[in-house]
Structure 1
Amino acid sequence: MINDRATRPRLPRRKPAPTVPAWEPPSWGEAEDFLRRFHTEQPEQPVALPMRLRQVREQLEQYGTYRHTRAELEFGARVAWRNASRCIGRLYWKSLRVLDRRDALTAEAIHGHLLEHIRVATNSGRIRPVISVFAPATPERPAPRVWNSQLIRYAGYRTTTGGLMGDPGHLEFTDTVRRMGWQAPGGWFDILPLVVEAPGDKPQLFDVPRELVLEVPLTHPQLAAFAELGLRWHAVPAISHMRLTIGGVDYPLAPFNGWYMGTEIGARNLVDPDRYNLLPVMARMMGLDTSSESTLWRDRALVELNVAVLHSFERAGVKISDHHTESQRFLTHLEREEREGRITPTDWSWIVPPISGGITPVFHRYYDEADQRPNFYLDDEAVELSKGRCPVRHHDAGGTFP
Structure 2
Amino acid sequence: MRPLWLTLLLAGGRGRLGLVVGATAAVTSLLLVAASIARLPRTYLRQGTDGLVGVVAEPGTRPGVVLALLLMTVPLLLLLDQAVRLGSTARIRRAEALRVAGATAGDLRRWGAAEVGLTALVGGLLGVPLWLLLRLALLEPVGGSGALLPDDAGPGWWTWPVAAAVAAYGALVGARSTAGPEGRSRAGGRRPRPWWLLPLAALVVLAWRDELLVSDVGVVLLVVLLTLTLALLAPTVAYLAAGVLVGRAASAAALLAGRRLVADPGPAGRAAAAAGAVGVTLGVVPVFIGSLTAQAAAGDRDYYVLPAVGAGICALVALLVIAASLAVHSTETVLVRRRELATLVATGVPATVVSDSQRLECLLVTVPLAVLGSLVGSVGYAVLAADLAGSTAEVLVGLGSTAAVSVLACWLATAVLRPWVRDAVGPENLRTV
Same fold (TM over 0.5): no
> Higher strand share goes to which structure?
1
TM-score under structure 2 length normalisation: 0.27
Task: Decide which structure has greater helix share.
Answer: 2
Tell which has more relative contact order, 1 or 2 (C-alpha 8 A, sep 6+).
1
